[in-house]
Structure 1
């Protein structure tokens, strides 16, 4: 619910100063606690007299605790800075509304409790002046001019009130983001936000919105196909870049892919599909500042997959299916800043996989099932971040002497969706308040 004219005119913004000071002091105190903890707990126990697994576990947890003290300091100082910026901007914008009202009243326009201006200059005239005015040939023109100016004053006041509401919404977004931990550092999701942004201009920006047609579904999509094609490439070693070497070769009979989406307000349908026929092989290894990797694989045959999802606001379901016919072998391990992967497998024959799951506000849980027609076995474990910034954990295992199958599970956390959902919840709470002071104060 947007702020009203009365909300803006009656709001007491002075508590912002005291609250900002309190958050600043709290951040300073967290910094002192971090220093004391590192010195008197980590330092005292890390003097070399205690060794072993228990010591290692204690120090790991102690490091995480010390990190959270520092993150709490960063978050508190960011909130203090945001509240200071909010006070400065809201006071300025509130004053702009009050100045408009004062100027309008000086020119004989009365502003009611909804912010609507009405000309009252005629009411201040004497009876003789009113009689003369009513018989003036220009009287209708004078009334029309007064009404137009009253509308102009009303529009200007409404625009100034909207500016206050826009700023209030920006403060709400910034505070929500500052108090949301969507990073895996420290104790992981849900701790204090070590990366909180204390600049209202950047932290309070609205999420970018895609263009759409009013009242209808908006579609987006693309597709591509290629083949036949063959090629090979080899690189390395690259000592400076950390690559020991890599090579790949392929011979495609054909490959194709397509993806698209339909969006209408909070509803979104999305899907993609791809197919491949041919052979490919690859091998590579490297060690860089991003991590280490080693992998090798080969496949000959045909493969096809399709997946889709349906969302209504923060709630959604998804599913996918994949099929392969041919022979495949692969093994690899990747460890880096963005997660890790370890797995190995081989099969010959036909293999099919289906998966399904649900997502609520950025947290998704799903299961996978596979079926084999032919000998094969595989095991995979993945944890990492995808290209959209979502973190995922997947585990899968299967075996087939002749006919068999496998099972797996997957867990996904999308920080961006979590932040949006948190913002929506905070929005619902904040809009229940009756004034700017109550709306912001309610967040704490």
Structure 2
């Protein structure tokens, strides 16, 4: 009980008699954080404002407009975790038993009160609330762990398939680039009959853009194979995420220009250093930029923010855009390959997967949410001091 009192748990007392509220406050304000209300509607309004502080709700049964049981039934609907007590001077046993059986009321207290007994009832209710709350938190934590394990396993299985497929795509690009080189060579000859002289510059420019796209795609694919490999602790160093972000933007400028995609910088922290693998974290930004380029329509924009979170000992990377999200795809499913946003069947959706691999390998986490008004937001949390041997196990 000492712990409960030290935390000064909140108790809401509702009664239409003002004197009863005054007596309750004087009797218990040293032990609890006391809130009072003169009606059921007023009590619900107080609970809505102070829900995080209130553990127990006590109300008189006989009140105008809405009875105590009716109020506690509404409390159960809105805040099922709150412990609900009913005070009554009436011997309506059937009504009280039904209310308890239905779960609207945890217990009832006869009037006139015995303050010592009432204090014991409140403490018992607080203990019940604390125990149930602890169990809920443990269960929620376990469910989150299981969800993460299932997500890791599913992503690993499907992601490996996608990465292996990308290997064959990369192999197929090599002869295509050789063919383009041969065509460029033939077009460069003055006696060549493949095109008229006035058309050659147009064709050469077209081939040049194809070659840039192929090399960019090939470079991205080559990085896919490294995304889920084991981290080497010997490669860890202090990395400034702002610096490698700037480098990634510069390295991918041609790729972004191809679709007129703009990446804007959200206001963040000047110093965002973490301990990790520089090459892998550089690829994290490369993959995020590639994801936006393939997913967004032409002439679109996205925003990236990097912020130091000192209380969590982490750095948070936020990526948000107004790109399309299919109605049948939930935000979390965007982590699964082949759930692409662009509607382009040529894309396999592996860039986000690889970003996820890199973040998880550094002991971090990732979540996706839909933005109000359209678009999606990706949030990556990376610990400042990454564990040296963390890895998603297949």
TM superposition score normalised by structure 2: 0.27
Q: Which has the higher strand share?
A: 1
TM-score norm. by structure 1 comes to 0.24
